Amino acid sequence: MFDFNYDNLDGNEDSFSESFLEWDETRKKGSSPGYFDPDELCDIIDTYLSIDNVPEGKVALEYALRVHPENEDMIYDIMQILNDYELWDNLLSIAEQYKHLELVWVDGHKLSALLHLGMEENAFLCFRKAKKKFAGNKEDLSIIYQAMAESLYDVDLYEAAIDVIDEILPKINPEENEDLLWIQLQSYLAVNDKESVQTLCDQIIKINPMDAESWSRIGLIYKEIGEKEKSIDAFEFAASLGKKAPVDILNLIYSYKENGNLLKALEKADEYLEHSPDDYIINLLAANICMEIEDWEKALKYTNKALSIDPGSNFLYLYQSKCLLKLGEIRKAIKALEEGIVRTKDETGELQSELERLKNEFPGEVKN
C-alpha cells in the first residue's frame, strides 16, 4: 500500500498538464492561483516534485490543504506523493495534522515517516498504539503491520521486519494480504537466509499458482540466491502464463547464459530481437554467444547489426574481422579492419596491430 511509483516528467512543457501550466504561470506573475480541484492540485504537487522543484511543490501542497482541508481522497494522495518523494518531515507533519481522522493510512504513513527520520523509539510507540486502535479490524490491522514491516525493511532493519510479520501472520489469513509474505521474503533474502526464502517462495506460489507476475518475481528471487535451474523454470512458467514483456525475455536470456545453456540463450535473444531489432546490447550479446559456440556466420550477422547501430566501436571491427577470417574471407577481414581504422581513428592502435598481423600472415591476399 505504501510503495508507489510515479512517472518522472522529462521537463518538456508538452508533457505537463494544463492545470500545472496555468498554476505555474500564475505563480510566475505573482497572481492569485484561483480555484483548482483536488485532483489538479495533486497533479501540480507531483509535477513540481518530479522536476525537483520542492519549494514550489510545498507551496502547492499548503494551498491544497488550505482550500480543501477535509478532502480525504486528496489528503490520501498527497501523503502517497510525499512518501514516494521521501519528504518525511512533511509527511510526518501532515500525519499529525490529520490524526483526528482515525484512518489507518494516516497511521501507516506516520510510522513510515518516523522510521525514515531515525525516530525508532517513537515509531514503535506509535505502532503499539495503532495495534490497539485497529485491533477489532483485521484488514486495518494487517495494513498497519504491513506499513511497519515495509518501513523497517526500507531502513535496513530486516530482522525487525521479519519479527513484525511473524507476529501478525497467525492472526490473519496470509492469502488476504500476500504483500506481507513478499516483504518477509525480501527481508530473509537481505539476511541471506536461503532456506526461509525458498520456503516462502513455495508458500506464495501455492497461494497464487497461476499468477504470471508472481512466477516472474520468484524467478528473480531464485536467481539472486543462485538457484539457476529453479529461476529458469519460474521464468519459463511465467512466460507460459502470458508474461512475455521484453524484460521477461531478458531475464531468460541472461539466466540461460549464466547457466551455460548458450543455445537457449541465443533462442531467447532472437525472440527478443524480433520486437527490438535495434537493441545494441542484445545484438552484441548474441554475437558473443555465437563466437563461443563457433557459429561464425551468425556471429557476423549480429556483429554487422551492432555496427550499423554504433559504427564508432572499434572492437566491433575486430569482431567482424575475426568472423570473416573464420569464414575464410581473408580479404574481407582485412578490409573490415581498414574500414574500422578510418571510421574510429583507431586511437588504441588495436585495429592497426591486427591489420599488420593479417598482412604478414596472408601477404598474398593484400591488394597492391
CA 329 from centre of chain: 44
Q: Which of 361, 327, 283, 325 is nearest to 337 (CA)?
A: 325
Looking at residue 366, its pLDDT comes to: 66
CB 316 within 8 A of CB 303: yes
21-40 exposure pattern, b = at least 16 Cβ within 10 A, e = fewer: ebbbeeeeeeeebeebebeb
Backbone phi and psi for residue 341, each to the nearest 5 degrees, phi listed first = -60, -40
| Other CB atoms within 10 Å distance of the CB of residue 257 | 19
CB 229 within 8 A of CB 259: yes
Place of cell 513510515: 112
- Cα–Cα dist 120/128, whole Å: 12
User: For every one of its 368 residues, what pLDDT tens digit does the chain have, with 9 covering 90 and above?
Assistant: 333 233 333 445 568 999 999 999 999 988 888 899 999 999 999 999 999 999 999 999 999 999 999 999 999 999 999 999 999 999 999 999 999 998 999 999 999 999 999 999 999 999 999 999 999 899 999 999 999 999 999 999 999 999 999 999 998 887 878 999 999 999 999 999 999 999 999 999 999 899 999 999 999 999 999 999 999 999 999 999 988 888 999 999 999 999 999 999 999 999 999 999 999 999 999 999 999 999 999 999 999 999 999 999 999 999 999 999 999 999 999 999 999 999 999 989 999 999 999 999 888 776 64
Looking at residue 10, its pLDDT comes to: 41
Backbone phi and psi for residue 118, each to the nearest 5 degrees, phi listed first = 80, 15
- Cα–Cα dist 190/176, whole Å: 24
